[in-house]
Amino acid sequence: MKICNIVGARPQIIKAAALSRAIKEIYNSQIQDIIIHTGQHYDINMSDVFFNEMGIPTPTENLGIGSASHSIQTARMIEKIEEILLKYKPHVVVLYGDTNSTLAASISAIKMNIPVAHIEAGLRSFNKKMPEEINRIVCDHSSTLLFSPTITGLRNLQNEGFHLDSLPPYTADNPAVYLSGDIMYDNSIFYRDKAVKLSNVIERLELKDKKFILTTIHRNTNTDEPERLKEIIEKMNAIATSTNYTVVFPIHPRTKKLIKEFDLTFLLKNIKVIEPLSFFDMIVMENAASLILTDSGGVQKEAYFYHKPCIIMRKETEWIEILQAGAGALEPQTIDEFTALVQRFINNPPSKFPAYFGDGQTAKFICEKLLLFNKYQS
């Protein structure tokens, strides 16, 4: 069976690593894994570092799309992906998450009648101002195989008219919907010990024996308006000045660019701003942090996987299980409420982290279902 794994942004490279590993270890003689990188992320520390560290095979093709407005970026990808799919003629196109690379590839594939398998299907924020929400909806509704990480995802799909009990043969009009568990959890378990052994990030950042709070911010809804970005940095600053915790901020290139553009750099003087981290460094930092503040879907979950409290710097989350467990909370509005929540999480960290995200064997489950699908097709 020939599959094209299409990735483009940092979190997709991480998710694809788990599938590639399962194929290499178990399904090498049954599945041919062709990796296509759209080039949406191109900086070494946003892309190459993940391939190297996680031992993912070098992409068979890199489309070199790079940055542009959402429409231009997506349009360029659609055009190039069509050429690639014509060249490789895969049985299934495997897509991850909700980026513009996911959107573009789902459109190219469905227009060519190539079945799409969507990993991380069914997630919804119910906020269409997020580009990711549009991307997810289009991809789910173009897919023939939908792999939802959570029961909430399954319910969302059901509410949009997907049947959970469809029978083969599967098509985009009669898709198969599975509860697969979360593929990121596979990696979080697999790489934790290795990362702790190989990464020296704590020493490098001079954080040994120091207590710190790890922060990441990159969502358009948080970065594109100066007032909102300022509010977030002021909240980070309030923790840095009112506690003895260091606030560490690995900064996404877009967030960095906008902070400069909006003249907000002066607000960062109490915050330890660093370059984006590799996956191994990030794992080690997450494990050593006392608290995590983030607007990233992936980092929210990694906080949960490593039993760390998390404040989600948004008004909503797709990962409502984290809220249900009491392991995380949405960002309170005022600075006072915010610092009070930080104190509560630091002084009384949550202790319950039920297994909402599967058993760490999601990649294997997905490979089995891909092979089954291929059997029905032939």
Which residue ranges make up the site for ligand UD1 (CB under 6 A)? 9-11, 40-43, 46, 67, 98-100, 131-132, 218, 253-254, 257
Q: Whole-angstrom Cα distance, residue 37 to residue 45?
A: 15
Q: Across-strand partners of 7?
A: 37
Which CB sits closer to ligand UD1, 194 or 257? 257
Reported as type and span, the H/E element at residue 6 is strand 2-7
The answer to whether the CB of 295 falls within 8 A of the CB of 314 is: yes
Decide whether 188 or 246 has the Cβ nearer to ligand UD1. 188
CB of 250 to ligand UD1, least distance (A): 11
- The candidate with the shortest Cα–Cα distance to 87, out of 107, 114, 56, 66, is 114
The neighbour count for residue 349, using CB atoms within 10 Å, is 13
Q: Are 139 and 116 in contact (CB under 8 A)?
A: yes
Provide the minimum distance between the beta carbon of 56 and ligand UD1 in the complex, in angstroms, as a whole number.
17
- Residue 116 CA to residue 101 CA, distance in Å, equals 13
Q: Crossing angle, helix 362-377 and helix 183-198, to 10 degrees?
A: 140
List residues bridging with 310 in a β-sheet. 292, 328
Total residues belonging to the chain: 378
In terms of CB distance, is 43 or 336 closer to ligand UD1? Answer: 43
CB 82, min distance to ligand UD1, A: 19
Shortest distance, CB of residue 50 to ligand UD1, whole angstroms?
11
Q: How far is the CB of 266 from ligand UD1 (least distance, A)?
A: 22
For 328, how many CA atoms within 13 A lie in the half-sphere containing its CB?
Answer: 34
| Nearest CB to ligand UD1, comparing residues 10 and 141 | 10
Which is closer to ligand UD1, CB of 67 or CB of 159? 67
Question: Between 9 and 154, whose beta carbon lies closer to ligand UD1?
Answer: 9
CA distance 170 to 370: 11
Residue 118 bears catalytic tag: no
Least distance in Å: CB of 276 to ligand UD1? 8
Nearest in space to 59 (alpha carbons), one of 80, 79, 30: 80
Give CA angle at 206 (203, 209), nearest 5°. 85
Question: For residues 322 and 297, what is the distance between their CA atoms, to the nearest angstrom?
Answer: 11
The angle at the Cα of 295, spanning 150 to 46, to the nearest 5 degrees, equals: 95
> What strands, in cross-sheet order, belong to the sheet with 92-96?
61-62, 32-37, 2-7, 92-96, 116-119, 145-148, 176-179
- State the minimum distance, in angstroms, from the CB of residue 98 to ligand UD1: 6
Residue number, 219 or 308, with CB nearest to ligand UD1: 219
Nearer to ligand UD1, 72 or 86 (CB): 72
- Short-list 301, 147, 273, 152, CA closest to 217: 273
Q: Which of 37, 118, 218, 252 is the catalytic position?
A: 218
Least Å distance, CB 174 to ligand UD1, is 29
CA distance 253 to 259: 10
List residues with catalytic annotation: 218
